[in-house]
Amino acid sequence: MMPRLNRLALAVMTLYVSGANADDATLPTFSLSSFGTVGIVHSSEKNADFTSSFYKPNGAGHTRNWDADVDSLIGAQVSANFTPQLSAVLQVISEQLYDDSYRPAVEWANFKYQFSPDFSVRVGRTVQPAFLLSDSRKVGYTLPWVRPPGEVYSLIPVTSTDGVDLSYRLHFGDLTNTVQGNVGQGDFRMPANTGRTLSRDAWGISNLTEYGALTTRITYQKTHLTVESFNPLFDSFRGFGEEGNAIADHYDSKDKPFEFVGVGAIYDPGRWFVMGEWGHFDSHSVIGAMSAWYVSSGYRINAFTPYVTYARSKTVSETSTTGLPTSTLPPALAGAATDLNSALNTLLVSNSGQHTLSVGMRWDFMQNMDAKLQYDYTRLNSNAIGPLINLQPGYEPGGSFNLISLAVDFVF
């Protein structure tokens, strides 16, 4: 049997129940499903905000003592079967966006053609298949935790891509192996009108293997990444001639190759589960290179599932640079160069790493609904800010903070 976590994800996300096996006389058919999370988070750090995504403008801590924007969302999905081979899906989600609105946004919108029971092609906006739980990372009911471990899942914070993907499934007795390839691009707006993150010429391949209670996934993704919010900094470096151009060419993220490798596994025989993932990216820019991993386990006692997770991330690239030489510059230019060097070093060290211990309880108190309580303790590496934003004058990088999260998830 497929592990319970994957069975939940399939039940929620496939959604072709009305018409999946229909004959031509009953087509076309349509089905509607929805899902959501109502959550609230408290952070002990009062001089910054904790947020679950780089694309959110604020969160728990400084802006609000208890914040409902970190995890709350509602989504709806419409699936259509036009012929036995041709289908389509549209998924719309309302959650806090870069501009602090809850304007509904299209998460998925694609056509799928099933050439055979094991080979299909999708065209349009599809899932970004980087992680074990990519297909359902926004559907809290399918997750054992309040949110996926940020150390790993923030390595690729985007959840969808525009393009084409192909999937081919092989069967070897009780073992099923699915190979998925994708090409595409994406545009993602950053908070505070600081520009967009652009992904171009993206492609990847992933391999999902299912054998009894064990599921594994291996992924490689590559794109050319541009983070527009860095443009003013490196344009200023270029004003310092050859030395400034060399620094900008090395650290600027404009159209730089971004590579990601991920490995994960779930073992879920039913009564309990254990899972873990490891990921590594190299941005070839100021974003640096980082590795992260987590392990998580839980035990089901009737409707209750206590769980524990440990996650760790670490930068494996340089976290400081000498930058522009200032000794030979006139005082006015030396001051500007010093400021630029300081800003660059702040970026290099800001995500140098962290580790988080999480303990929680899931309660499946009624059909298609659960309630979760989770405590997180995060220790940041020296001078790192991790997932914190809206830094206030009194904030000191490094240190630690605590989170308390409450959430109710539902699907229907």
> Tell me, what CATH number does 396's domain have?
2.40.160
Cβ atoms of 272 and 217 within 8 Å: the answer is no
Packed helices 231-238 and 331-350: angle between N→C axes, nearest 10 degrees: 140
Instruction: Dig out the tokens for 318 from the structure.
Output: 């340089």
Fill in the amino acid letter for 17. Answer: V
List strand residue ranges (DSSP E) for 228-303, in order: 256-267, 272-282, 289-299
Residue 350 is predicted with a pLDDT of 84
Cα dihedral value 321, 324, 326, 330, nearest 10: -160
Alpha-carbon span 44 to 48, nearest angstrom: 10
Nearest to 364 by CA among 140, 95, 32, 66: 140
The residue written with tokens 């899906």 in the block is 89
Helix (H) / strand (E) element for 76: namely strand 73-81
The residue written with tokens 């694609």 in the block is 110
Does residue 361 sit within a domain?
yes
CB atoms within 10 A of CB 363: 15
Alpha-carbon span 185 to 200, nearest angstrom: 5
CB atoms within 10 A of CB 332: 8
Q: Domain range spanning residue 270?
A: 39-68+124-411
Alpha-carbon span 159 to 129, nearest angstrom: 8
Does residue 222 sit within a domain?
yes
Query: Could you list the pLDDT tens digit for every one of the 412 residues in the chain?
Result: 345 555 555 444 443 333 344 455 588 999 999 999 999 999 999 999 999 998 999 999 999 999 999 999 999 999 999 999 999 999 999 999 999 999 999 999 999 999 999 999 999 999 999 999 999 999 999 999 999 999 999 999 999 999 999 999 999 999 999 999 999 999 999 998 888 999 999 999 999 999 999 999 999 999 999 999 999 999 999 999 999 999 999 999 999 999 999 999 999 999 999 999 999 999 999 999 999 999 999 999 999 999 999 999 999 988 889 999 998 889 889 999 999 999 999 899 888 899 999 999 999 999 999 999 999 999 999 889 999 999 999 999 999 999 999 999 999 9
Does residue 323 sit within a domain?
yes
Q: How many domains does the chain have?
A: 1
Phi-psi region at 327: left, alpha or beta (left = phi > 0; alpha = psi -120 to 50): alpha
Residue 14 is predicted with a pLDDT of 45
Does residue 238 sit within a domain?
yes
Does residue 76 sit within a domain?
no
Question: What pTM value is reported for the model?
Answer: 0.90
Residue 352 is predicted with a pLDDT of 81
Residue 356 is predicted with a pLDDT of 98
Nearest to 48 by CA among 405, 378, 406: 378
Does residue 87 sit within a domain?
no
Nearest to 55 by CA among 255, 201, 262, 195: 195
Nearest to 161 by CA among 124, 215, 131: 124
